[in-house]
Chains A and B, each alone.
Chain A
Amino acid sequence: MYELVVTLILISLGYFFGRLAEKKHYKNIIAREKVMNSLPAMASRMPPQDGDYDQMLVSGSVVIANDYFKLFVAGLRNLFGGQMSSYETLLDRARREAVLRMKDKAKALGAEAVFNVKYEASNISGQSRKKMPVIEVHAYGTALRRV
């Protein structure tokens, strides 16, 4: 009984705070993406051949965890299978955040564009099954600055 109450409290706390944080984060990401649109990040491996460019490696990373509510929903989802939208938004936010951080660094260096952007996501929570997933997303690429 006691455990059930604790779990329910955790789930509701996770729901309220997690939802609030997610909304706030999305708002923040969209606003920053608009500003950063002037500095495109591309997957292309061929930088422009005209003119002389300085190349610099830039990267951005973020470590994120799920909230308790999402974990609970994902647990239910595991029974029936199908789309896990609670994890999708989490990873989407992390990837966009990582790219924005990478672009921040590129901008600070005075770059015009970032080429050959690669993503890397890894679970760093270890092998224990009970633990929450803790995921690191890392984005890196080559910033080009006109000489």
Chain B
Amino acid sequence: MFISNLEFMTGKKVTKHLGLVQGSSVRAKHAGRDIMAGLKNLFGGELRGYTELLQESREQATERMIEQAKAVGANAILNVRFSTSSITAGAAEIYVYGTAVILDGLD
């Protein structure tokens, strides 16, 4: 599966548009991590636990988007965007969406 946030791929023609595909993932912060983050809050700086957590969550969302694209028979997703929103205290939703297409000459 080919994924890009550009609107086309150089040298390849889009033969068919298959519409929007999306994936999302909601993750809550782990209490242990939260305590560590609270300590870290005093001195400022990066909260590595959260960075990892959100990265995992983003990967999962992308994975779900890819699954959906495969299901509609696409071989590429173009113009991919990410968005994050915090829904309640301690949980964040990661949403990723893009246009599923069939590119010519791509396996």
Contacts and interface: CB of A to CB of B under 8 A. Distances in A.
Interface of A: 10, 13-14, 17-18, 21-22, 25, 45, 47-49, 51-53, 55-57, 59, 61-68, 70, 90, 97, 115-116, 118, 120, 122-128, 131-132, 134, 136, 138, 140-142
Contacts, number: 128
B15 interface: no
Contacts of B44: 14, 17-18, 21-22, 64-68, 70, 90
B5 A142 contact: yes
Contacts of B51: 61-63, 136
Contacts of A17: 42-44
Contact of B46 (A49, A64, A132): A64
Contact of B55 (A10, A49, A61): A61
Interface string B36-55: 01001111111110110011
A23 to B, nearest CB: 12
Q: Place the interface of chain B in its size category.
A: 35 or more
A45 B58 contact: no
B5 A140 contact: yes
B41 to A, nearest CB: 5
B90 interface: yes
Given A61-B55, A116-B5, A140 B82 contact: yes
B90 A126 contact: yes
A122 B84 contact: yes
Contact of B9 (A55, A127, A136): A55
Most chain B beta-carbon contacts within 10 A, residue among A57, A66, A123: A57
